Chain A
Amino acid sequence: MLVISSIVALAGGTEAAARPHYGGTVRIVLREAPLSLDPAQLNVAQGKPISPLIFEGLTRFDAHGRLQPHLAARWEPGVGNQRWQFWLRPGVNFHDGAPLTADAVAASLRAANPAWTVSANGDSVVIETTAPDPQLPAELALPRNGIARHAGSRLLGTGPFQISQFQPGRTLVLAANEDYWGGRPFVDSVVASLGQNWRQQLITLELGKADVVEVAPEQVRRAGLSGRTIVESAPNELIVLAFTSGAESAEEARLRQALSAGIDRASIVNVLLQGQGEAAEAILPNWMTGYAMLFAQTGQRSGDVTATAMAGAMTLSYDASDPANQLIAERVALNARDVGIRLQTAASTANADARLLRIPLASPQPQLALQAVATAAGLAVPQFQGTSAEELYAREKELLQSGRIIPLAHVPQASAIGPGVQGWRTDLFGDYRLADVWLSGSRL
């Protein structure tokens, strides 16, 4: 909880004594380059930060990572957590002025979740799943479950901004929803440039052509030295080695254990990521679970491990679009050599034994985050009967003991904010709450 408060305080430091001004256009730049804005087309980890500005879920996570009602005013589970009923918030309209109805919500959720049975029931929606799903309220906060309605060629939501122009993969222009149920946004519009890499984004900010850009972890310190405001989330991305198959022998399993124990995670974080993030031996960060320290590998460091490790050869592939990935992969290979393992690195090789992945944690809800990691790493997706910490720990331990995944680091999401942008509050999980942002000075 201390970590969280410090993050929120950091973000809150950008506020001025003046009250918010209305008007102006805030310009943001993103690496994501979506070809569609339809929430139903998103996977569990996609959609941030744009989609929630347009499409809202029945629930959402607040700035402290706590689940809150949103388009739903309240909800109740049936016996066994397999049937859920959500009562809609009254007085909410789509961007064209049509009221939000249970029928519209049911249709939207069915499109995104064909396996669910979703029906309207008066001013409520009933969702039935094929298996107990205690995480359902948290799932509904994912961008892919944002409520959307097709009206001819228009895609409508209920959020604080509506789509004004969209060039798939290139540019998105949003206009303020004048009748937004949560209060009209301060800015008149948002212009998002899509598909820009880290370097292009910083240049755009330096040229004064952007107000908000994403910053690579290893560039945060440098960006901060230039006098810009940097805001960070809690660590919400996992850097991990994922093996494409299970160990085929006990010896291979020991080899992987030796590799995991031999990796100098502190150097990866402190040197390659410039101190941004945390060394990770758990899949989920400690702020999310509180028990990550239980996975620390004590007593089997280099000397012990080298003695047990056997000579072997493995290949490790990485996504070369981010230069940091190559550096991390090469550092892992260097550490592997120290424990007697030959590890060859290669950019985007299809037949590699392992892949270096950067996996967004998808949700502040740890059960959902663990499922998202398993999906992205190609592992069996853990199922949960409840929300207890013990069950979560057991499922995470099983994934680690599968020998198919080696966590390296958890890194935060960072953004650089240009002058004249006020009221910015990065929340715990890095959502962009642009409805609260306002512009001052020459940017107005």
Chain B
Amino acid sequence: MQRFRDAYGHLLEWLVGALMVILFVEVTVGVVFRMTGHSLIWYDELASVLLAWLTFYGSALASVKRAHIGCPELVDKAPPRLRRALNIVAQLLVIGFFAILGVVGVQIMPVLTGDTLVSVPIPMNLVQSVIPVSALLIIIAEITHLVDLVTGAKPPSSTESGIALADGLH
């Protein structure tokens, strides 16, 4: 499972890294054009979409690395069997939430057909596809952790590196 997860994480790293670079380049180009007096009308709308994509695809990578902000302190202090049970419940809740988000994300696709972004003719369906696709990616990552929990292949709860990553923001 760990090997699968490493390969999967590596794939997501490419996707998320590329999004980050594109986001940076897009904003920089936008600034340069605005300062030289040729504002690009699509720059802030497109940048916002890129931020949303970075958020949701980045969340999938964060799921692989267990980097989401949480509070493992209490559960870590519980006796091993209770700890394992609570971790499994938490894991199922996470999977359930993203499953709902993903399914409804697909269901609203027909409603949005024909809509595009305001400043550029990019279809809304493409923009919003990030929700179901990233939900699926997150579920895959969370299932690998769930399998490890159930089979006892790995100590439950977050890894230190994951917490350190999530904490980096403060």
- B partners with A: no
